Structure 1
Amino acid sequence: MKEDFLYYLWKFQKFDSECLRTSEAEPLQIISTGAQNNLSGPDFFNAHLIISGIKWAGNVEMHLKSSDWYLHNHETDPAYDNVILHVVWEHDENIFRRDRSLIPVFELKNIVDYSMIAKYRHLLESRHNSINCEDSFSELSSFEIDHWFERLYFERLERKSELIFAVLQRSNNDWNRACMILLFRAFGLNINGEYFSNMAENLSYSLVAKLGGNQFSLEALFLGYSNLIHGADQYSKELLTEFEFLKHKFNIPLIDSKPEFFRLRPDNFPTIRLAQLASLYAQRPSFFSGIIAAKDFNEIKFLFITEVSAHWKTHYNFDKSHNSRSKKLSNSFLELLVINFVIPLKFAFSKSSGEPASSLYEIVTSLKAEKNSITRLYNSLRPGTVKNALESQAVLELKKNYCSKCRCLHCELGATLLRNSVKYV
């Protein structure tokens, strides 16, 4: 058993609340359990209690055993001087404040329903194949799941917005520059995302804006900076000549590394993605304003209508040619961009500017769910659980930050399963 379980029991008063008494047999009445503290210091602040008819306001500390008070050296810490109640699973020793006054103890083990304890142990102490609630996940109602998934999705957006604000700070609060860095990262996907974003940080937005309208120059800049230009054909020579000119004119710093091709499908080769970015910024240097103004997926899709230059219609790299084919952005890639770049950017800008971003929910729920091992897992536990992009993003957050970390008591679904096991509430 972990102290998290005690926090849950106390916060939601999941115990027989009739005739509560301290370990000294003093009558106890809980007016307010207080606010949970996730930092250092007592576990709950500003609780309001009545003990033996006397009203108390102060902090509450929790341990599995009351003797843990001394194990954690609280008797010497002034932060614990205002503790008015020590809530424990098992009372094994009287504890005192620094001034040697006795702290009332409230023992839980004999007033918690056995079904809740059994459910807790099954969730957190039994061995499972995938997630702790795998055999009871299907018991949850659609309302409970939908409500929690919506919270999880916006929790995920909040976390992503922190990363965006870090990029914005490095960009001297220039949203256009931050947008470019984040867009390059999104185009690089997992394998080349960091490389692409570092490239965008080193190539200033002002330079890209100056070259706006010139697809050839932007292509030379992006491919040349990435050390990807090679070959004996005329186009390669022209690109390299253009990059050498740009490098000297704008004092562009050089790097030795290259982006990865390994394990990538041809459509995701860095040559193709950089050629597409060159086309996008040639058409629309102020890409950020268009993204913020877009109200639905069709308007966003219009922003990304682009086509690579003639050379890249017949090449995936500089070595071999193929029959001419379109290299427009696919619908599946566009949806990934909307999920991982457009919506988080719009959400972060809304937070920063105070302007509402009311269309985000409609946009994300209009997109198909992502297909991966995690979405397949939750759909196998409860068919139809993950139907759209909001829900697929929610289960990614759920798996990473709750299920994999056994944070069942911090999860609304885990708390619901525990709550449903109790006879009295």
Structure 2
Amino acid sequence: MLFTEDFLQYVWKFRLFDLKALITTDGETIEILSPGLQNTHAGPDFHDAKVRIGNTLWVGNAEVHISSSEWKKHGHQTDNAYHNVILHVVYKHDEEVYHPNGSPIPTLELHNRIPPELYQRYHHLIFGEQQIIPCEKAIGSIDGLILQNWLTRVLVERLQNRSIALNQALAANRGDWEETFYQVLAANFGFKVNALPFELLAKSLPQNILAKHKNNPMQIEALIFGQAGFLTDDLQDDYPNTLKTEYRFLQKKYKLQPIEKHLWKFLRLRPLNFPTIRLAQFAALVSRSNHLFSKVLDTREPEALYKLFSEVTVNPYWDNHYQFDKPSVPVAKTLGKSSVNILLLNTLCLILFAYGNHHQQERYINRSLKLLELIPVEKNRIIDNFALLGVKVKTAYESQALLELKNSYCDHKKCLQCGVGIKILKLA
């Protein structure tokens, strides 16, 4: 048989082996009362296992290996963490192992006790030649409730993983959630292509400076376009020149240093996605929403959060411009539905989850998950492939979970740690 230690741990954890007439390698009868709790950290594989060997009840740790000789190969005989192992579970017993006091460690050999059909299902998952995911032929038949419960767990894992970078930014901002939210929002306004210059802009222009000019949209626009480096050139139109004049005064007042203009990317972008338009939209959002993070926390209905972003109105100058001094055909420059959805997904859902998790307040976590249920599913190859396999995907709640499932489990063939994989292996 070809398998990994993970498979043997799975077999032991769920007792998927022949339990009749169990005996240890030295001939004593053994009864498995509890396989214990699996340990995913350093130390024995299972804690608090409970077994009866002969007439004695034992409670302690269990260690799982493919062969007994791996005990010494892994150096367990000199590791204090393994001194209270009460049972050594192996596929093949090829060597006696002992406690430090010289007494042999009871060993259970599972050779010839694992059902062939269970191994075949495992082998097909891990070593098969699937095109999309290991369980592509079976996932469509998994009970919807089982799949949904697992996707919820995986979605939470995704949000927890994505919160790590946010928590690092929070630490750098000395626990200031307003400033952290402002920086994350700014980076996401760059929509990947211009995420870096937007992030640098936000860090060069603290949110508390903008808050001082909350009643003067023109000054907020001047600060944002000035710090972005777009007010250093000779300009012709009245609007950018007014911004330039305002910025020169504010720059000296706050001792500001703009970022380099060349960092902004225009190439291969649709005009509506030009950084100048995104900066105008960002300025409009900041102008109409002082203390935006507090407003997000206070807004209980997800629909209201969508409205907060969708009703952003830029300065009229941009109605017939995509760049300074370059007139264009009049086109509304409001944030489109897809852009709003991306901002809600990558900013609001994440910040609400991270804030709720940080302060252990379930209402914000639940609000984050509810918002994900209102955001339409993203369109990408991974989600399209899951749909082809019969997995129903309606909202970002499912699609975000499936992205995490694919990237963290399927791609690494962690079927034995996946609720879907476990269910498939346990099918009769």
Report the TM range for the smaller structure's normalisation: over 0.9
Alpha-carbon offset, residue 417 of structure 1? 0.3
Say if 1:365 and 1:388, in contact at 8 Å, map to a contact too.
Answer: yes
CA distance in 2, matches of 1:344, 1:175: 13
CA distance, structure 1, for counterparts of residue 394 and residue 359 of structure 2: 32
Going from structure 1 to structure 2, the CA distance change for 1:64 and 1:290 (only over 3 Å counts) comes to: same
Q: Retained in 2: the 8 A contact 1:85–1:106?
A: yes
State the partner residue of 1:233. Answer: 236
Q: How does 1:295-310 map to 2 (within 5 A)?
A: 295-304=300-309, 305-310=311-316
Partner of 2:267: 262
Q: Return the alpha-carbon distance in structure 1 between the equivalents of residues 125 and 247 of structure 2.
A: 60
Cα drift, residue 98 of structure 1: 2.9
- Aligned position for 2:331: 325
> Which amino acid is the alignment partner of residue 104 of structure 1?
P
Tell me the CA shift for residue 23 of structure 1: 1.8
Q: Which runs of 5+ in 1 are unaligned?
A: none
- Which letter maps to 2:118? M
Q: In the alignment, does 2:413 pair up with 1:406?
A: yes
**Percent of residue pairs identical:** 35
Deviations 1:10-54 (A, max 9, x none): 111111222222222221112222222222111112222111121
- Partner residue, 1:70: 72
Partners of 2:216 and 2:110 in 1: CA distance: 72
1:282 to 2:290 alignment: no
Cα pair 1:227 1:258 within 8 Å, conserved: no
Matched residue type, 1:211 = H
Q: Are 1:248 and 2:280 matched, yes or no?
A: no
- 1:218 positional shift: 2.0
Q: Partner letter of residue 400 of structure 2?
A: Q
Q: Letter of the 2:328 partner, please give it.
A: H
1:99, distance to aligned residue in structure 2 (A): 3.0
Shift of residue 63, structure 1, vs aligned partner: 1.4
Give the aligned residue type for 1:292: L
Q: Distance in 1 between matches of 2:95 and 2:270?
A: 65
1:149 positional shift: 1.4
CA distance in 2, matches of 1:258, 1:210: 27
Task: State the alpha-carbon separation in 2 of the partners of residues 255 and 406 from structure 1.
Answer: 44
Give how far 1:213 is off: 2.6
Corresponding letter in the other structure for 1:302: K
Inter-partner Cα distance in structure 2 for 1:253 and 1:40: 49
Alignment root-mean-square deviation, CA: 1.9
CA distance in 1, matches of 2:267, 2:26: 69
In the other structure, the counterpart of 1:372 is 380
| TM-score (norm. length: structure 2) | 0.93
- 1:54 corresponds to which residue? 56
Residues 242-299 of structure 1: CA distance to partner in whole angstroms, max 9, x if unpaired? 3332222101234435232334332222211111111111111211122112233321
Q: Which residue of 2 aligns with 1:311?
A: 317
SS at match of 1:413: helix
Q: Which of 198, 205, 208 does residue 206 from structure 1 map onto?
A: 208
Structure 2: which 5+ runs fail to align?
none
Would the aligned equivalents of 2:348 and 2:368 in 1 still touch at CA under 8 Å?
Answer: no
Return the alpha-carbon distance in structure 1 between the equivalents of residues 249 and 100 of structure 2.
74
Q: Helix, strand or coil: the match of 1:102?
A: coil
C-alpha distance in structure 1 between counterparts of 2:375 and 2:258, whole Å: 40
| Equivalence for 1:157 | 159
2-structure distance, mates of 1:319, 1:99: 86
Q: Which residue number corresponds to residue 336 of structure 1?
A: 342
* Matched pairs, number: 420
Q: Could you tell me which residue of structure 1 aligns to residue 389 of structure 2?
A: 381
